Amino acid sequence: MSIISAIVRKDLVIEYRSRQTFVTTLFFGLLVLVVGNFSLSIGGEQQTVIAPGILWISFLFSGLLFLNHILATEKEENSLDGLLISPATPGQLFLGKMISATIFLVTLETILFPVFHILFNFQFTLNSIWLYLVILLAALGYCSLGVLLATMALGLKNREIILSVLLFPILIPLLIMAVKSSIILLNQLKMDQFYNWLKLLIGFDIIYVVLSYWSYHWILEDV
């Protein structure tokens, strides 16, 4: 446990001290919200149905930037070798990286979340708390797969493109769950369907956290 928290602390301290990646990614997420608004030229009644999609596109793309970054820096600074010879097992390394990526993404979304509400005229209600939970769960599933696949892409020249190509097809169900539950929550629709989506989302997280944890040592052997 202390090993995992040491890795998390290390990553967060690095990000906190430089802050550059965080601010850039945050700005990028904000830009996607704005660009999404213009490219779909939404307004009026459709807005409440379409706007949640823009939130999740912003979520996906800003997360992708960060997932590339969090492992690439280890490689560029040659600190990956240090991590590999440390007493941490591959599973612990994975959990550490996954947790710090999730914390990063959730922090980012915590800032973008009210901005999204304001830009698209959604009321803050009790449902906003549920939506925040959905963001938390989606970030967890996203980062567990993301860390695994970003490690695979590490050795490649075109790793940014490869990561998105590998990640997005597998994330499609996660995206559907997130968008569908956001539409229900933001439009104050009946909640029973939302609970189904929530259960599916939790199932997705469990499956992929376990699977990535279990398979990480094969990936890490030959980075």
The reply to whether 207 sits near another protein by the rule CB under 8 A is yes
Structural tokens at position 207: 């499956």
Phi, psi of 123 (to 5 degrees): -80, 145
Q: Which of 44, 158, 190, 192 binds another protein (CB under 8 A)?
A: 158
Shortest Cβ 34–another protein spacing (Å): 27
The two tokens of residue 86 are 């440390």
Distance CA 123, CA 119 (A): 11
Pair 98, 144: CB distance under 8 Å: yes
Q: Which two tokens stand for residue 200?
A: 């599916």
**Among the candidate windows 22-30, 34-42, 87-95, 159-167, which touches another protein by CB under 8 A?**
159-167
Calpha distance 31→33 (Å, rounded)? 5
One character per residue 162-181, x = contact with another protein (rule: CB under 8 A): x--xx-xxx-xx--xx--x-
Q: Quick one: which segment of 6-14, 76-84, 114-122, 149-157 binds another protein (CB under 8 A)?
A: 149-157
| Shortest spacing between CB 54 and another protein, in angstroms | 19
**Residue (of 172, 171, 152) closest to 162 by Cα position:** 152
Interface with another protein by CB under 8 A: which residues? 145, 148-149, 152, 155-156, 158, 162, 165-166, 168-170, 172-173, 176-177, 180, 196-197, 200, 203-204, 207-208, 211-212, 215, 218-219, 221-223
